Amino acid sequence: MTGYEALRQSAAWIDLSPRGKIRVTGEDRARLLHAMSTNDVKNLSAPNGVYAFFLSDKGRILADSYIYNLGESLFLDTESETGIKLRDHLDRYIIADDAYLEDETDQWACIGIEGPNSIAAASDLSISVPEVRYATRNWGSGFAAHASSTGQPGIRVFVPVDNREDLLNRITAASIPQATAEQARIVRIENGIPRYGEEITERYLVQETQVMQAVHTNKGCYLGQEVVERVRARGQVHRLLAPVRIEGSTAPQAGTKLTAGGEPAAEIASAVFSPALGQVAGLAYVRIQPLHDKSEMTVAGSAPAVKAFVR
């Protein structure tokens, strides 16, 4: 069974070690992250976690992160592209706060186990999975978090880099196959799950992504909150990120336009050939009207015309 098939049908492991990892300590650690992120960190108790965006003062999305409360520290688990960027962004706003940032990216390996049977597979490895989404549980000299990158059920295990091979040996002995980064990407896009650095960038506003689980609507002020609230109050969103399917086997490049009735309708953010669908699956920023009407769209410039639809 390939890694792709295992992610869809059973369980596979994914190497997530390149992800950025930042530990925040000090008495003001929760206050700092609460004021800098879109979710409620002030009331986040151990061993729970949240998913959040970090915004510019213009409301643009600079990074995303899982924030885990490990008791004596808050641990940020972010994309590999944004680890240094997020650390530097937070550091600029530490003035009189008792808060300290330590980049621990190179100290921790991170292995994801994802798929419909991933929780049972983790249990067979004696890895206890927290029931609550984003919560953590100590495991050996590291910890496990209830989080997934593909939209399938999953867990990610953080261990010191010196223990990485021991963990992988146990996973291999349990006959759990590895899924490559591209196989995981295909499943993620099939499931309509965006990733910061690909479908979500500084170009977009929070509401355009439709990832509203990253936002706590009653938490009070935070950097970029005024823009988020203004957009919510006025409903001034002209496009939304949505899953699409495209006929054929050739995936259009990111930035490819889709039209409906000869008018601009959408822009592809990512696309892959989906073996499960037998056609191309993608994520696109779709204008409100064609999204609402579920209009038949066409890949701009295609001849003969290649049809696309909101999934």
The amino acid at residue 237 is V
Residue stretches of the chain with pLDDT short of 50 = none
- Between the alpha carbon of residue 235 and those of residues 74, 227, 230, 231, 288, the distances in Å are 34, 12, 8, 5, 11
- Beta bridge pairs of residue 291: none
Torsion angle of C-alpha atoms 107, 113, 119, 123, degrees rounded to 10: -60
Find, among 229, 203, 201, the residue nearest to 215 by Cα: 229
Confidence (pLDDT) at 56: 96
pLDDT at 232: 87
pLDDT, residue 1, reads: 87
- Distance in angstroms (rounded) separating the CA atoms of residues 207 and 212: 7
Query: Can you list the domains of the chain with their CATH numbers?
Result: 3-188 (3.30.1360.120), 238-311 (2.40.30.110)
pTM metric for this prediction:
0.96
